[in-house]
Structure 1
Amino acid sequence: MTDSHIESLEFPLFRQYLRGSFISSLSAAVLEKLEPFGDYGTVKMRQDVMEEALSLVKSINISIQRDEDYLAVYPRINDPLAFFEPQELMEIRKFLLSAAALKTALIDAGAVHMKAYLKGMSALTDITAAIGEVLNDKGDIRDDASARLREIRNELQSVRKKIHNALNSVLYSLNAEKFIQELVITERSGRFTLPCKSNFRQYIDGIVHDRSASGQTLFVEPESTVSMNNTHHELKAEERKEIFRILSSIIRSIYEKRREIRSTTENYGEVAFLLETARFYKPKPHCMPVFGDVLEFDRVHHPIILLEKKGESVPLNIRMEKGERIGVISGPNTGGKTAALKSMGLNHIIASCGLPLMGKSAKLYSVKKVLADIGDHQSLVMDLSTFSSHMVNIRDIINAADEKSLVLMDELGTGTEPREGAAIAVAVCESLAEKGAVTFITTHFAEIKNFALSRTDSAIFAVEFDYKTFEPKYSLQKGIAGKSDPLVISKRLGFPEAVVRRAEELIEEAKNSLEIGIEEVNRLKSELIKEKETYRGRRLELLERQAVFEEKEKALKQRLDKKETELLEEAMRLFERAKRLAGEKQGKIDKTEALEGMEKSAEKLTVLKKKLKPVRDIQVGDIIFLEKYEKSGKITAIEGSTVSLDLGGLKIKMKRADIIGKKLQEEERVRDVKLSTDAAPAVRREILLVGRRVEEAIDELDKFMDESLLSGFDKIYIVHGRGTGQLRRGLHEYMRNDRRVKKYAIASNEEGGQAVTVAEF
């Protein structure tokens, strides 16, 4: 695609917005060269690496440094005769360290698709280390850059001290005020001097190196310091020579590694471009488009409008089915037709660069060219009118178009006699269809609307317009030919009423029955689409309500089944007590009747438990929420049909069939489960049953044992008193047959003796 088509769709303006968010000049240089890729294999590769960049900037903090100073130095690296000043070497070192740090950060973050770029980035630690050993953080040459440099600077310091001592002796001599202009030591031409009056020769011998603008002050080197200044001058020359030798060695190393530096710079620029582009998209709605033979925009923005108007931007929804190759968009002026056209074109260009689009989701055509005729192409140089310039551009589009082209034409055929212009527009659409190009046009011509309605490979769209607020809705209704409504717009713009009324009369006279019929069909179709959308919305609302109702009904049934289970288990306990009473008081209770009741309850409980589905596919390590106990536990072992669980430190065993509840997901485990390896609490847990009848005591003990188990205790103390021993024997008999009790025994004298029984679970 040519630059003129790209410019008409405002791709350079999009690049400017993107450039405004960049820090790195190297990434900006990559952006300046950005253009659509020629094949979709390359586009897919760029999409993969771009998606990885988006993921990385969302998950880790990535630092991109400014590098414009390095970019100014970089071109000279390939020059074998180039010399770099210390500050320039610091910029090279700073960049290489930054590139190495970025590479390390991306590798540590698990970058995969960026590896091709990262492989081309060398750490070049020998160069960064060499520069760091020679220059300090301010870019000054270190004293220990070499042994010879240290020796020279030590000598310089010694000589400088001697010179200052000699000069100070002159400054503060007895007659100094007679010939010294100012008590200060100055440097002229690399030699230390004193500011003297013009009569200095009466007091000292010396060499004049400079004079002030007024001529009143002479800068004199006393004869006593000439030899020392000569030595200082020679040492400074040696210092410069040694510094040149040291820097030349580093510069030579840089030139020898120029290929690695060039590769590092180029690949760093690509990586920085990807990361800075990802940061640009991060706060905006974005999606990675899919290419194929259909077009579908789901709330996709025109990027320039979104960037300029932000929340006021209205996204575009449009769909072209497979086989539909011509799209005709009609409707009133200022209704958003051109914006929709530009949005499709610009988003195709951006997507062909491998970048995301600003929207929810998108499917685009697999095209290699986007050809556009949008805007005024009038040329005074070529002596072309607006219509002529459009025709020249459309001629070039027809010649360039093929089956891999997306053609966008705004107001095709306007600017000339309407019927002939409409005929040209239809002929152009037919020609492009024969070439296999995908074509979108905006129009007010009825002939083009009828053309689209008459073909199976065409789709017609109407832009929606709010006539109350006189504002476009930027929404396209498929299957409807839009009305231009110039008279309505003219009224709102304050046209004289008489002129508008006369225009209406002329239109009614010129309308034929076919045009009236098309308008009526469009009106009915528009109403039908709106009704369909309303029905769809209500249907979705009902489906949501139905899902909520079914979920609540399911939860209620589970609670009822759980409650029924609890009631039946309570009934079983009561029958157990009745069974004991039947054994103790024979003749007073119908033992057979009690046993029959127990059997019926047991059968009913079995049937009910079959309805309560146990948790399936359990494994060691799973966290299970047990509905019966309303607690969560971790499965520690599975042996056949027996499952061992840890309920917050309490170790229990259950049958697989009794594990009713749900398996917790990872995020639920953290807030719901607190596993412990500690033993049961050290606090003594006891129940006082003194004075209770055996039946009452057993009921209380049964509930107390459940509570103790769930609280994590593995031992309880039962205070039954001494008395006749009947209560103790009844409780012991009950615990003998209770599967929760591991063992029980009379407490030690310290724990209560014969009045207390200790039970372990």
Structure 2
Amino acid sequence: MNTKILKTLEYDAVKAQVKPFLATVAGEKELLNLSPTADAQLMQQWLAETADAARVLRWQGGISIPKLADVKPHMKRLRIDAALSGTELAQVGRVLFTTGQIRSFFENLVADRGEGLPALAVYYNKLVLLPELTRRVNVAIDGDGRLNDEASSELHRIRQAITGTENAIRQKMQDYTRGKSAQYLSDPIVTIRNERYVLPVKATYRQKFGGVVHDQSQTGQTLYIEPADVVDMNNRLREYYLQERQEEERVLIELSAKLAPEADNIENNAQVLGHLDFLNAKARYAVAIKAIEPEFSAENHVRLLKARHPLLDPDKVVPNDITIGEDYSAIIVTGPNTGGKTITLKTLGLLQIMAQSGFFIPAAEYSSVGIFKEIFADIGDEQSIEQSLSTFSAHMVNIIDILSKMDKDSLVLFDELGAGTDPQEGAALAMAILDAVGETGAYSVATTHYPELKVYGYNRADTINASMEFDIDSLRPTYKFLIGVPGRSNALEIAKRLGLSDNIINSASALTSEDSQELNDMIADLVARRNAVLTQQVELTQKVVENRQLKNDYEAKLEAIDKQRAKTVEDAKKEANHIVADARRKTDKIIGDLHKMARDGATIKENKLMDAKGALNAMHEEPSATNNRILRKAKKAKQVPLSVGDTVLVREYGQQGTIVRQLKDHKFEVQMGILKMVLSGDEIEKQDKAPTNDPKPRKNKQRKTSHVNTNKATNRAEAAAKLDLRGVRYEPAMAELDRFIDQALLNNLSSVEIIHGKGTGAIRKGVQEYLRSHRQIESFKFTGPDQGATYVQFN
């Protein structure tokens, strides 16, 4: 893209705003070399990279990259086998360390979030980890480039010797500053001259010390003397210093040699880190200017919603909607000076250039941008004294250059098109230039004062009028960009409000052409209509917001009710489980007591069995009285008529019986085993099938008592109870099986036989599962010729 448009639209000023967010020299270089791309695919890739960087900024506060120097020159030196200095090695060490940190940062972030960063993954996966080399360099060199004692064992030994020798010298010298010799010193201190420890001795006492004089004061009154008894120690110290320097040089050469084979990888790592730093800066800049990721329009539809110029004060700038390309490809903007026409042109051009550079743009969500190979602009006063060109001539030279270079993929911005010459000729020239731009298919936006261009914008295909709003009451521009409404002249109204005589106003009005007056009246009417529509739109928007809030409130309340209902059900289930567990414990105790009585050889009378069943039934929680009445009414409404011979369930005892006689008042005599009871119709319930598990009571002439001998030996001899489930549906069969097993246990039977047939196997499978889960069953097995029955043995 031509450099002139970048300068006109102040592209470098935008890049200057991004620079403070950078931490690496490589990132600064990438920003410096950045220019808009005309490749749609590359533009979308850049925007995707910025979007991923913005996502990292939201998730983790951004990519934490420290200050990194440019190591590219260092790598060039390594390739020619040159040794790096300590400072240079420290800079390389920071790159190596940061490489490992950034690679781990992204891998952990993606793993923790469970969401990828595809645009950034291309880069951080290129980072080559060199852990051993990283450890070696960072152990040997500190952040300032000084070699650590751990750089080598020899260096560590030498520095220990240096420290010991220095301490010995200081101790010896301090003996002079504190003892009798202190009176011969100008100051009781130890200092250094020519890299050797000396004492400031008064010149008159030179002979008191001997040794070597290394310096004297300007007055000659003080001599800096190295006493004779420390000369040897200073000599040893100098030797240690030389050894230290030689060892440091050897270590630097060794480290440089280790780095040389990885020079390419280190340079590439630094480049990748710089690019990640650059993307991080883009994301931070987007947050600073409240920018969003624009959508890309393959059809080149530019739709900037609430667009703001990034270089203006965000608290003062007026956001505007600027659209072009979908319904029209040319915009004619009219309005007063200082109304914001030029800044609107620049906003359109600059935001499009920013998007083509991979920057987010300061606009509202759902804004879209296209892509242009070139953006041209004729903006500002182009007068050139050196070229002896007038303002008009300078504009024409620029416009001629634009017309020669533009094509269908161009965006052209004209400010005050045709100005600087005769208005009639200027207007005609402006329309001809716009026609020429339109013929190429390029997009154009032009500002003007000429009223003829308002009619041109109305009649020209693919062209629309626009204006900058002006408040007549306050005599100030509002800086609002109005698409579809041409600007009107406000000169007479402004002059009148400023106090110009009515006679002059009337005279000027009379001199104004009738067509011009009608045009201004039409524009005023359009503005009034537009404002009315905007007011209505604001009201509708407010109602939509209120309705959405009500909807959200209702949904929140419904969600709260659902949560409360779920909690209530869960609590009820827990309570029911507690009740069932308690009932099971009581049931087991009752059955256990009966079994104990049977094992002890006692006889269990029928009334004892009924009492036990009553105790079991008493553990059942009945509904409340109100619910009972409702249930009784409901049951009464669908009560099945009872008659003699019907099989019924006696609810109180949970036992089945047979009606042997019908009595008055809806009462019945029911035979249950050897017992007969008189019960009301509400206490019994008709059953679908007569029970098959109730063996006929046998007459025992020798024993007239109404009790049953529960001795196991007697039962094995007297009872071989069977339950026939053939032809019964699954659910009733399982219920009947449960009642049958309970009856057998209460009668203290040692074994029973359950006939289920083969059939589809559903009943057979259900019986097996039930028996497998029952704690009182010792064993069971198939029996019968076709294995259509199961023999059950109780504990």
Deviation (angstroms), 1:126: 3.6
- Establish whether residue 227 from structure 1 lines up as the match of residue 232 from structure 2: yes
Q: Whole-Å Cα distance in 1 between the matches of residues 678 and 507 of structure 2? A: 110
Given that residues 320 and 459 in structure 1 are in contact (C-alpha distance below 8 angstroms), is that contact kept between their aligned partners in structure 2?
no
Following the alignment from structure 1 to structure 2, what is the Cα–Cα distance between the partners of residues 364 and 323?
15
Q: Which residue of 2 aligns with 1:326?
A: 330
Taking a change above 3 Å as real, the CA distance of residues 471 and 147 of structure 1, as seen in their structure-2 partners, is same
| Distance in 2 between residues matched to 1:732 and 1:491, nearest whole Å | 103
User: C-alpha distance in 2, partners of 1:201/1:650?
Assistant: 106
Question: 1:15-414, aligned counterparts within 5 Å?
Answer: 15-67=15-67, 70-71=69-70, 75-79=73-77, 80=80, 84-108=84-108, 109=110, 110-136=116-142, 140-164=146-170, 166-167=172-173, 176-177=181-182, 179-282=184-287, 284-293=290-299, 295-297=301-303, 299-304=305-310, 308-320=312-324, 322=326, 324-360=328-364, 361-414=366-419
Q: Secondary structure at the match of 2:224?
A: strand
Using the TM superposition, give the Cα deviation of residue 245 of structure 1 relative to its aligned residue in structure 2, in angstroms. 0.9
> Aligned-pair distance for 1:418?
0.7
Query: How far is the alpha carbon of 1:626 from its aligned partner?
Result: 10
Q: Separation in 1 of the partners of 2:575 and 2:236?
A: 82
Kept in 2, the 8 Å contact 1:300–1:357? The answer is no
State the identity as a percent.
Answer: 24
| C-alpha deviation, 1:410, in angstroms | 0.9
Which string of whole-angstrom CA distances, capped at 9 and with x for unpartnered residues, describes residues 255-295 of structure 1? 44332222122221211111221122236152313234454
CA displacement 1:667-688 (0-9 Å, x = unmatched)? xxxxxxxxx89953799899xx
Which structure 2 residues correspond to residues 577-588 of structure 1 after superposition, within 5 A? none
**1:620 maps to what in 2?**
none
CA contact (8 A) 2:310 2:362 kept: no
Which whole-Å CA distance do the structure 1 matches of 2:496 and 2:398 have between them? 35
Secondary structure in 2 matching 1:464: strand
Where in structure 2 are the equivalents of 1:449-488 lying within 5 Å?
A: 449-488=454-493
State the SS of the aligned residue for 2:339. coil
Counterpart CA distance in 1 for 2:164 and 2:300 is: 84
Aligned pair 1:680/2:602, yes or no? no
Aligned counterpart for 1:648 among listed residues 570, 580, 590: 570
Q: 1:172 to 1:295 in 2, by over 3 A?
A: closer
Change (3 A) 1:735 1:471: farther
1:294–1:699 Cα change, 3 Å: same
- Asked if the contact 2:489–2:520 (Cα under 8 Å) also holds between the matched residues in 1, the reply is no
Amino acid of the structure 2 residue aligned with 1:135 = I
Give matches, 1:428-577, under 5 Å.
428-490=433-495, 494=498, 497-498=500-501, 502=504, 505-506=507-508, 508-513=510-515, 515-533=516-534
Q: Distance in 1 between matches of 2:159 and 2:358?
A: 58
CA offset digits 1:565-591 (Å, max 9, x no partner): xxxxxxxxxxxxxxxxxxxxxxxxxxx
Aligned to 2:714: none
| Greater CA drift, 448-457 or 181-190 | 181-190
Contact 2:75–2:263 (CA<8 Å) still a contact in 1? yes
Distance 1:140 1:10, change over 3 A: closer
In 2 relative to 1, CA 189–542 (structure 1 residues): closer, same or farther, beyond 3 Å? closer
Alignment pair present for 1:699 and 2:636: no
Residues 431 and 63 of structure 1: is their aligned pair in 2 closer, same or farther, counting only changes over 3 Å? closer
CA distance in 1, matches of 2:331, 2:488: 16
Q: Choose from 418, 423, 428 the match for 1:423.
A: 428
Letter in 1 for 2:443: V
- How much has 1:371 moved relative to structure 2? 0.5
Please state how far the C-alpha of 1:107 moved relative to its aligned partner.
Answer: 3.0
- The Cα offsets for residues 180-233 of structure 1, whole Å up to 9 and x where unpaired, read as 444433332222222222234433321111122332221222233333322221
The one-letter code matched in structure 2 to 1:195 is P
Unaligned stretches of 5+ residues in structure 1: 560-623, 634-645, 652-675, 704-717, 721-725, 746-761
**Contact conserved, 1:67 with 1:95, CA < 8 A, in 2?**
no
**Mapped partners of 1:677, 1:238: distance in 2:** 85
Query: Is the alpha carbon distance of 1:34 and 1:555 closer, same or farther for their aligned partners in structure 2, counting shifts above 3 Å?
Result: closer
CA distance in 2, matches of 1:193, 1:695: 108
Distance between the aligned counterparts of 1:507 and 1:20, measured in 2?
57
Partner AA of 2:511 in structure 1: E
1:128–1:678: structure 2 CA closer, same or farther, 3 Å change rule?
A: farther
Question: Against the structure 1 CA distance between its residues 272 and 159, is the aligned structure 2 distance closer, same or farther, given a 3 Å change threshold?
Answer: closer
- The Cα offsets for residues 360-416 of structure 1, whole Å up to 9 and x where unpaired, read as 222334311110111111222222222221111111111111111100001101111
Aligned partners of 1:127 and 1:104: how far apart in 2? Answer: 17
Counterpart amino acid of residue 436 in structure 2: S
The one-letter amino acid of 1:78's match is K
What amino acid maps onto 2:570 in structure 1? G
Displacement of 1:729? 10
What amino acid sits opposite 1:412 in the alignment? L
CA distance in 2 between partners of 1:389 and 1:6 (Å):
19
1:96-140 alpha-carbon deviations (Å, 9 max, x no partner): 323432232223333211122223333333443122221356654
**Deviation string, structure 1 residues 670-719 (Cα, Å, up to 9, x no partner):** xxxxxx89953799899xx99xxx9975836999xxxxxxxxxxxxxx99
CA RMSD in angstroms, aligned pairs only: 4.7
Work out the CA distance in 2 between the residues paired with 1:458 and 1:402. 18
Q: Equivalents in 2 of 1:550, 1:241: separation in Å? A: 80
Point out the more displaced range, 473-482 or 144-153: 473-482
Letter in 2 for 1:329: V
SS in 1 for 2:382: coil
Name 1:655's counterpart in structure 2.
Answer: none
Q: Structure 1 182/542 Cα, relative in aligned 2: closer, same or farther at 3 Å?
A: closer
Q: What is the TM-score normalised by the length of structure 1?
A: 0.70
- The residue that corresponds to 1:756 in the other structure is none
CA distance in 1, matches of 2:298, 2:291: 22
1:104 maps to amino acid: S
Amino acid at match of 2:330: I
Give the Å deviation of 1:439: 1.0
C-alpha spacing 1:700/1:423, structure 2 compared with 1 (3 Å):
same
Change over 3 Å in CA distance of 1:545–1:257 after alignment to 2: closer
How far apart are residue 316 of structure 1 and its match? 1.4
| Partners of 1:14 and 1:303 within 8 A in 2 | no
Q: Give the unaligned 5+ runs of structure 2.
A: 111-115, 587-616, 632-650, 654-676, 689-730, 743-795
For 2:196 and 2:623, the matched residues in 1 are separated by 117
Structure 1 residues 503, 443: CA separation in 2 closer, same or farther (over 3 Å shift)? farther
Q: Which amino acid aligns with 1:458?
A: T
**Matches for 1:632-671 after TM superposition, within 5 Å:** 632=566, 647-648=569-570
Say how many residue pairs are matched.
618
Cα 1:532–1:152, aligned 2, differ >3 Å: closer, same or farther?
closer
Paired amino acid for 1:300: K
Going from structure 1 to structure 2, the CA distance change for 1:403 and 1:230 (only over 3 Å counts) comes to same
Give distance in 2, aligned partners of 1:463 and 1:330.
7
Shift of 1:450: 1.8
Report deviation, 1:483: 0.7
